[in-house]
Each structure stands twice: as C-alpha cells, then as structure tokens.
Amino acid sequence: MTAHAIAVDVGGTEIKAALVAVGEDGARPLHRLRRPTPRGPDGGATADRVVDAVVEVVTALRGAGPADAVGVVVPGIVDESRGVGVYSANLGWRDVPLRDRIAARIDLPLGFGHDVRAGGLAEARLGAARGMRDAVVLPIGTGIAAALVLDGRVHAASGHAGEIGHVDVGHGEPCPCGGTGCVEAVASSAAVARRYTARTGTAVGGAAEVAEAVRTGDPGARAVWAEAVDALARGLLVLTAVIAPEGFVLGGGLARAGRLLTDPLRERLDELLAAHHRRPRLELAELGDTAGCLGAALLATEGLKTP
Amino acid sequence: MTAHAIAVDVGGTEIKAALVAVGEDGARPLHRLRRPTPRGPDGGATADRVVDAVVEVVTALRGAGPADAVGVVVPGIVDESRGVGVYSANLGWRDVPLRDRIAARIDLPLGFGHDVRAGGLAEARLGAARGMRDAVVLPIGTGIAAALVLDGRVHAASGHAGEIGHVDVGHGEPCPCGGTGCVEAVASSAAVARRYTARTGTAVGGAAEVAEAVRTGDPGARAVWAEAVDALARGLLVLTAVIAPEGFVLGGGLARAGRLLTDPLRERLDELLAAHHRRPRLELAELGDTAGCLGAALLATEGLKTP
C-alpha cells in the first residue's frame, strides 16, 4: 500500500520539502518545494518563523495532492522522544517543543525527528545501507555526526548519540568545541578547506576545490587530505570497536570526492583494524541531499503504522 | 507467571549453573551447581568436553525440579544469531556451533548467548541498570568488554560490538593485541596489578591488593590507580560520545574497589565531558558473578515467549 507524506527538512540555510509517495518498494518525491530558512533576531524568534514556514510549505504541498501524514526533521540536538529541538548552534534555538507547536497547526498525523538520523534511516531503507542489519551513516560536512542504524532502527539516546566528530583520535589539534584531537577538527569538509588555506596561503571555496587540487598533485592538498583520511579512519575504527556495524555510508560534502576519499580511507582503515575487529564495508551515500527529506517521509508514514 | 530455567555460565575456569525461577518481579536461583571447566588437548577437544559438561549439569539440575527451558552462555567472541562460539582465547575454540550441538542433546528449548552481554542484560533487567533505557555494562577483569543494552535490548553485531577495551585513548602504552593506548592495557584489573609490580618491584596477587595499597597511601599504587582511572574515563567518554547511554554499570574485579574507583572516575569523567555530551550516571554492578548465570536464565525464558 502506498501512503503519501508531506516531508519537510529544515536546514541551516534552506527548507527542503516534498510530497512523497511511500510504498513497500521505495519512496518517490512527487512534488518539491524549497524556501530559504527564515531567521529572527534570536533563536526563539527563529523558531517561531521556522514553525510558520513549515506550516506554510505543508499547506502549499497539500495543494499538490492528497496527503496522509507530515514528517518534519530539524538540525542540531533533537530529542525525538519529547519532540523537542534541544539546541541548534546554527539556528540558535534552545528547548523548543517544535513537534507540539507544529502539530497544533496541522490536522494530519505528524512525525518528527533529527535531520542526520532521518537521513540515516533513509539510507538504511532506501539507499546505500539497504540490507545492512547494523550501519553507521556519516554525513561529512561542516561537522561530522553519525546516524547509528542498529537492527533497522535508529539509536538516538535522547538526541546525543553518534557524536563521533568530537571523539579525540590523537592528532592533537584544537577543536572549536574546546577539546583537542576531535575527528572533525581535521576531517570535516570545513576543516579540509580551512587547513588547506592555512597551510598553503591559497583561499578556496570549499573542500571540493581541495579535492581537485589533490587530483592535480598539489602537495599541500595531498598532505591535508591524507590527514583528513587518517583522522576519519581512526574515527571509523572507534565506531567499529564499539558498534561493529556491517558497514559505513559516507555522505555530505566530503563524500562528493567519491573514490578519492573511499580508496585511501579503505586502505588506512584496513591498516588500523586488528584481527579481533569486524571488517566493515565502506559505501558512498546514494540519496545525496534528499536523504533528510526522504527520512522525514519515512518518519511520517511510520507513525501511521503505530496503533 | 513464573518460568523455571536451567542456566549455565561457562567460564574460563569454572562452569556456574543454577535452576532459576524467572518471574515478572525478578529471577531467583533455587539450586546451584559448580564444576571446573574441562579442558582438552586443543580447542576442539575442549569444546567437546564443555558440551558434555553442560549436558551433565543440565541433567543434574533437572533432578532438582521441573524446568521449562535451558540457557547457556559462553565467553570470547560469540555470534548469537548463528549460535556459534567464534573464538575464545581462553578456551581455544574457533567456530564451534555450540548452540546446535547442545540443543541436539537436551529436549528443552535452548537460549544461547555471550557471557558479558547476558550479564549486561541481567544488570539491565534485574540489577544496577534497571530502569535505564540505554546502558553500558562493563565488567573490568582480565580484559574490558562492554555490553550495550540499547532500548532494553543487547546490541551484539554478530558478536563484535562493545570492544571498548581496545580503543586507543592516547596513553601510548603497547597492548598485547598489537595496538597502543588501549584502555585495557592500563585499566583492566590485570593491567593494574602488572603495572604496580613493574613500577614498584612489589609482587601482588591482583588488583585488590593494589586498591588496598592506594588506601594506605602507597604512592606507586596511587599513580597506577590514577592512570587506570584516567584511561577508563577516556573510554567512558568515547562511549558517551558514540552511544550516549543514561548510565554505566561497572563490574568485575576492579569494581570491587567500590567508591575508590567510582569517586575519582566520576570526577575525571566530568572534567573530560563537554557541554554537548550527555552526563551519564555511574553505578556499581549489583549482581556480581551471578550476572552471567541470571542472564542465561533470561535468555532461556525469552525464547519461551517467541512464537
């Protein structure tokens, strides 16, 4: 049976929304909408405007066809069990009961979740982690978080699980979080760009340009890239020891480099793995920046099955 | 309703078994048996003799009263889903289909599992992790493994999850596993005893004697203890970042030191935790060395509920 969900992925700069047909065989966006994420003078006002904008896109997409449910995902620290946006560094809000505030203004069942975990759920059901019993999905962008999909379900732990970006893997560099050696201080796409500029004096628009420089043999780019790969491999090693997933799915900006990332990462991880470790698969994400939106659609329709 | 399970915990030196009454309100051993774990000339022969011994204690305990099911737990790397003892360094076996071999010789439903994970399940249902939604149970003995009890279920990942003992936390000391900086190279009870002797030249019978020396102000003991606490705190920090459990339950030999362990560990962990981390509870295990046996009883009776 196919259900129709209105899925809304609230990002730091843009709200992506779609009317999605969710069936046994997959999920298909029928109609898409994008809006800039509104901002207020502070986090509370931003939350108010985001709630308004979510209601507006839901109303607009209801014009595109019948819908059975709505799913909304937001960034930052999110407590799914209470339906609360606990904290977003980017949007500035703290402890906003977003689920209840949105639910009060729409007359459809509402699923609510976290963008990264919902995207991980989508990769597990519809994308590169399909068929893996336990998978860790890592979007590597400004930061590095992980969605832990264990036995087909996302482990959220009141919103705090999967903080692999701030595990100390020993490289010794300081991180804006106050720690040192954090994976994302060296391996996030933001860090790759920043460290390349610091090393070479050449300004770049992002990690994609550093990847291009690696391809052309730029020694500074190669060094920064190798350090990112090493930190990331050490992060995956920690996840392998603790979680032992069947595989990792790499997404986000840095994973657009494709095999330029996964080939050396596979090699470095294999060097680090001991005999007692499970050898995980490494895959590139398949759903790109629609993962969050498709995950929101899954959250919406899963609610329909709950008695 | 109360079910009766014959529970067998196969250890490296001893088999602990009991007839256990498992009800809604808890589990109560009615009758206990202990046997030395038999050994053969190699791992295969040891496995044969262990299977014989398990069948023998099950038969003996059936004489003590009616039983509805049998639960058996074994050490090492265990794949519960296939019922296989993948590897035991201590008992020497590799890839032995223990579950099927035992099931063929008893005419009761059989639950099969891993000693540490079953013990974790018992602490979660009956002991110190009762009421925690997500908990990590760590027996600290010769090595350090962790049972991850997530949303009330044990995450096994084909037997490889919870290897926190071999995560590199940066102290730089070599580990018998071939790595460096492993938590258990400094923080296991075996490491505490070994490192105290190496530092002071004084032989000790185990970590309990080092704990006693800490209490009397022995500076060598204090230094070794502080290093163990630091490594353990860094291991808990990694688990907090990745899993974000409500709490940790510490068991095994080292945890017999009680607050001599948990007080400085709490302090060190609080120093290491950043604002974005969940602050976990720290508890001492309640079930002692019966945890594995009670966990085996739970595995036995859970099988009875499966359709």
For A41-73, how does the pLDDT look when each residue is reduced to its tens digit (9 = 90+)?
999 999 999 999 999 999 999 999 999 999 999
Which residues fall within 8 angstroms of residue A57, CB to CB, at 6 or more apart?
A6, A8, A15, A17, A33, A35
Residue A303 confidence class, pLDDT cut points 50, 70, 90: confident
Q: What is the pLDDT of residue A176?
A: 83
Cβ-defined contact of B77 to A276 (cutoff 8 Å): yes
Q: Where are the domains of chain B?
A: 3-121+289-305, 131-285
- Residue B104 banded pLDDT, cuts 50, 70, 90: very high
A185–B contact, CB cutoff 8 A: no
pLDDT of residue B307: 43
Put simply, whether A155 touches B (Cβ < 8 Å) is yes
Contact at 8 Å (CB) between A33 and A60?
A: yes
On whether any CB of chain B is under 8 Å from the CB of A168, the answer is yes
Residue B169: list chain A partners with CB under 8 A: 168
Window from A190-194, B153-157, B266-270 with minimum mean pLDDT: B153-157
Nearest-CB residue to A242 (from B164, B170, B234): B164
Tell me, what amino acid is at B3?
A
User: In this structure, what token pair is assigned to residue B246?
Assistant: 């409500």
DSSP calls for chain B: --EEEEEEEE-SSEEEEEEEEEETTEEEEEEEEEEEPP--SSHHHHHHHHHHHHHHHHHHHHTTS--SEEEEEE-SEEETTTTEEEE-TTT--EEE-HHHHHHTT-SS-EEEEEHHHHHHHHHHHHSTTTT-SEEEEEEBSSSB--EEEETTEEE-GGGTTT-GGGSB-S---B-TTS-BSBTHHHHSHHHHHHHHHHHH----SSHHHHHHHHHTT-HHHHHHHHHHHHHHHHHHHHHHHHT--SEEEEEHHHHTTTHHHHHHHHHHHHHH--TTS---EEEE-SSGGGHHHHHHHHHHHHHHH--
Q: Does A167 touch chain B (CB under 8 A)?
A: yes
Q: How much is the average pLDDT of B150-163?
A: 88
* Exposed / middle / buried, residue B307 (Cβ in 10 Å: 0-12, 13-18, 19+): exposed
Whether A244 and B274 lie within 8 Å, measured CB to CB: no
Task: Tell me what percent of the residues of chain A surpass a pLDDT of 70.
Answer: 99
Classify strands B94-96 and B84-87 as parallel, antiparallel or unpaired: antiparallel
Question: For B26-77, what is each residue's pLDDT tens digit?
Answer: 899 999 999 999 999 999 999 999 999 999 999 999 999 999 999 999 998 8
- First-residue to last-residue Cα distance in chain B: 17
Residue B32 φ/ψ, nearest 5 degrees: -120, 155
Percent of chain B with pLDDT over 70: 99
Its CATH class, for the domain covering B131-285, is alpha beta
Specify the pLDDT at position A242: 95
Cβ of B241 within 8 Å of Cβ of A276? The answer is no
Q: End-to-end alpha-carbon separation of chain A, Å?
A: 17
**Which residues in chain A have Cβ-Cβ distances shorter than 8 Å to B170?**
168, 170, 181
Residues making up chain A, counted from first to last? 307
Strand locations in chain A (E): 3-10, 14-23, 26-36, 69-74, 77-79, 84-87, 94-96, 110-114, 134-139, 147-150, 153-155, 247-251, 281-284
Furthest-apart CA pair in chain B: how many Å? 59
Radius of gyration over every alpha carbon of chain A, rounded to an integer in angstroms = 19
Say if A243 is an interface residue toward chain B (CB within 8 Å). Answer: yes
**B112 and B98 in contact (C-beta within 8 Å)?**
yes
Q: Are the Cβ atoms of A244 and B158 closer than 8 angstroms?
A: yes
Give the Cα separation of B302 and B117 in Å (integer).
Answer: 15
For residue A168, give the nearest of B170, B179, B277 by CB distance.
B170
Tell me how far apart the alpha carbons of residues A250 and A164 are, in angstroms, rounded to a whole number: 13
Is the confidence at residue B306, as pLDDT, over 70? no
Using an 8 Å Cβ cutoff, are B110 and B149 in contact? no
In this predicted structure, the answer to whether residue A117 has a pLDDT above a threshold of 70 is yes
The pair of structure tokens assigned to A61 is 């997409």
Domains B3-121+289-305 and B131-285 share a fold: yes
Q: For strand B281-284 and strand A247-251, is the pairing parallel, antiparallel, or unpaired?
A: unpaired
Interface residue B245 vs chain A (CB under 8 A): yes
- Can you give the pLDDT at residue A245? 96
Please report residues of A whose CB lies closer than 8 A to that of B246: 157
Chain B residues whose CB is inside 8 A of the A170 CB are 168, 170, 181
Cross-chain Cβ contact B155/A243 below 8 Å? yes
CB A117 within 8 A of CB A146: no
C-alpha B171/C-alpha A26 separation (Å) is 48
pLDDT at A167: 95
Residue pair B109/B299 in contact (Cβ under 8 Å)? The answer is no
Q: Is the pLDDT of residue A225 over 80?
A: yes
Question: Average pLDDT, whole number, for chain B?
Answer: 94
Reference B93, options B145, B44, B165, B22; nearest CA is B44
Inform me whether the pLDDT recorded for B89 exceeds 90. Answer: no
Q: Is the pLDDT of residue B164 over 80?
A: yes
Residue A25 contacts B where some CB pair is shorter than 8 Å = no
- Give the tokens for residue A171: 């490289």
CB contact under 8 Å between A242 and B158, yes or no, is: no
Residue to test with chain B: of A242, A272, A277, most B Cβ within 10 A:
A242
Could you give the 3-state DSSP secondary structure of residue A276?
coil
For chain A, percent of residues with pLDDT exceeding 90: 86
Q: Are B68 and B109 in contact (CB under 8 A)?
A: yes
Which pLDDT score is estimated for A42? 94
Report ipTM (2 d.p.): 0.89
Alpha-carbon torsion, ordered B232, B235, B240, B243, to 10 deg:
-130
pLDDT of residue B304: 78
CB distance A280 to A248 below 8 Å = yes
Residue A199 has pLDDT above 80, yes or no: yes
pLDDT at A307: 44
The CATH class, in words, for B3-121+289-305 is alpha beta
Instruction: Inform me whether the pLDDT recorded for B288 exceeds 60.
Output: yes
The pLDDT of residue A1 is above 90: no
> Nearest Cα to A50, choosing from A90, A106, A91, A84?
A91
Would you state the pLDDT for residue B282?
A: 98
With a cut of 80, say whether residue A305 has pLDDT above it. Answer: no
Q: Return the pLDDT at B117.
A: 95
